């Protein structure tokens, strides 16, 4: 049985023309979903539809803060903030590469996640799990970085011994590749509801587009 008394409305608009919004139970089960969302209008309508008849049971809103599409991330933050404030709900933020990392099976050691940034660029960030038995506890080890088309993530990325590259943009990283074991929808629900890396969304409403390698200090 689903626990319908405590639900999370989660939104990931970090992929251009690929916005995703869902309603999940406190155990991370997806009750309803809207995909292929583009622009504030689509995002607002999706949140309104998902939170409509079950509105009284929604207890929090979670939105990705990037890195990702410049317009997409800001559109998602605007839609999520408006919905949360209108309903008097807490808004929490989540790194979009954390969602990508959530697609992998839990494993020991660090995982390098690589995702497309468009125009040949790529984002990279390392993650690990607190426990191989608790896949929801994927936690970032480093900040997300942005690399140019000619700049591949270093093969000796800090502590990483595996790589998840669902977009196929990382090149030959000399790391053991892992394949996704869950969909983007299921990963978003899992990390939004069960994850530990979400943070308050009312103090930080800026999109994090990653730090270019060499600019960390």
Cβ-Cβ contacts under 8 Å for 77 (sequence gap 6 or more): 63, 65, 201, 205, 207
For the beta sheet containing 19-25, the strands, ordered from the edge strand earlier in sequence to the opposite edge, are 30-37, 19-25, 7-12, 58-64, 91-94, 199-200
Q: Is the pLDDT of residue 9 over 80?
A: yes
- Convert the pLDDT of each residue in 154-176 to its tens digit: 777 878 989 999 988 887 788 89
**Per-residue pLDDT at 166:** 92
d(CA 217, CA 213): 10
Q: Is the fold of 7-96+183-208 the same as that of 97-177?
A: yes
88, 140 Cβ separation under 8 angstroms: no
> Which range has highest mean pLDDT (69-73, 81-85, 148-152, 184-188)?
184-188
As assigned by CATH, the class of the 7-96+183-208 domain is alpha beta
Mean per-residue pLDDT over the chain, rounded: 85
Look at residue 206 in the predicted model and tell me its pLDDT. 56
CA distances from 46 to 80, 108, 147 (A): 11, 37, 32
Average pLDDT over every residue of 179-203: 87
pTM of this prediction?
A: 0.89
The predicted pLDDT at position 217 comes to 46
> What are residue 78's phi and psi, to 5 degrees?
-65, -45
Q: 97-177: what fold? A: Nucleotidyltransferase; domain 5 (3.30.420)
Structural Rg of the chain based on CA atoms: 17
Using CA atoms, how far apart are residues 105 and 181, in angstroms rounded to an integer?
A: 6
> How is the chain split into domains, by residue range?
7-96+183-208, 97-177
Task: Identify whether the C-beta of residue 55 lies closer than 8 Å to the C-beta of residue 163.
Answer: no
Nearest of 107, 140, 108 to residue 211 by alpha carbon: 140
Query: Is residue 39 a contact partner of residue 76, using CB atoms and an 8 Å limit?
Result: no
């Amino acid at each position: 049985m689903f626990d319908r008394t405590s639900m999370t409305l989660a939104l990931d608009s970090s992929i251009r023309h690929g916005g995703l919004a869902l309603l999940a139970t406190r155990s991370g089960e997806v009750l309803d979903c809207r995909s292929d969302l583009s622009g504030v209008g689509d995002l607002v309508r999706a949140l309104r539809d998902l939170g409509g008849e079950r509105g009284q049971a929604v207890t929090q809103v979670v939105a990705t803060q990037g890195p990702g599409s410049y317009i997409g991330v800001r559109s998602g933050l605007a839609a999520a903030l408006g919905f949360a404030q209108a309903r008097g709900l807490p808004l929490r933020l989540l790194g979009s590469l954390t969602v990508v990392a959530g697609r992998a099976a839990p494993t020991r050691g660090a995982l390098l996640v690589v995702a497309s940034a468009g125009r040949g660029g790529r984002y990279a960030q390392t993650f690990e799990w607190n426990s191989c038995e608790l896949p929801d506890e994927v936690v970032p080890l480093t900040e997300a970085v942005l690399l140019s088309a000619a700049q591949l993530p270093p093969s000796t990325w800090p502590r990483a011994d595996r790589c998840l590259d669902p977009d196929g943009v990382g090149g030959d990283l000399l790391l053991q590749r892992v394949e996704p074991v869950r969909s983007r929808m299921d990963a978003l629900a899992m990390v939004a509801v069960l994850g530990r890396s979400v943070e308050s969304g009312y103090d930080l409403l800026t999109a994090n587009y990653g730090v270019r390698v060499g600019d960390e200090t």
